Amino acid sequence: MTVRLRAATRDDVPVIAELIRGLARYEKLEDHVEMTEELLAAGLFGERPYAEVVLAEEDGVALGFALFFHNFSTFLGRPGIYLEDLFVLPEHRGLGIGRMLLAHLARLAVERGCGRLEWAVLDWNRDAIGFYESLGARPNSEWTVYRLTGEALTGLARQ
């Protein structure tokens, strides 16, 4: 098996959207997906791109992806990379594709002068947690993530 990694282009939006749907199915969160291909194209390849995608392919067929963006650490005084999504199709897991994608992001982080690479994982996803810990990643259990969405977000924005 020869897997190739490459940066996604606008033409890849339908493939990225399908991979995101696959991730949502795996995480049992399909009913939370509001993404459309139009929103995805605008967010990834519009006037102001908000994130980047790396695709893992074999013979031009997508097997997985990583979607990430930069954040910034005031304590480090440096940017970081936040991995929003990492997904490998179930039939291709265990072949090192996830490791390839994360190693690629680690190289990008180092090349771009980033101080860290971080992500979140669902607490029930023991396979993913074991995989991440095998790479040397450690949970940051001192912090609790908060989120504003929907009416709470728009309500605060109106204040």
Q: How many whole angstroms separate alpha carbon 95 and alpha carbon 49?
A: 31
- The H or E element containing residue 101 is helix 97-111
Q: Which amino acid is at 81?
A: I
User: In the numeric block, which tokens belong to residue 143?
Assistant: 């912090």
Looking only at the bridges linking them, the beta strands covering 61-73 and 52-58 are antiparallel
User: Does the annotation mark 82 as catalytic?
Assistant: no
Name the catalytic one among 26, 50, 82, 132. Answer: 132
Q: How many whole angstroms separate alpha carbon 87 and alpha carbon 20?
A: 8
Residues 6+ apart with CB under 8 A from 132: 119, 121
Looking only at the bridges linking them, the beta strands covering 78-88 and 61-73 are antiparallel
Cβ atoms 85, 67 nearer than 8 A: yes
Q: Which residues are catalytic?
A: 132
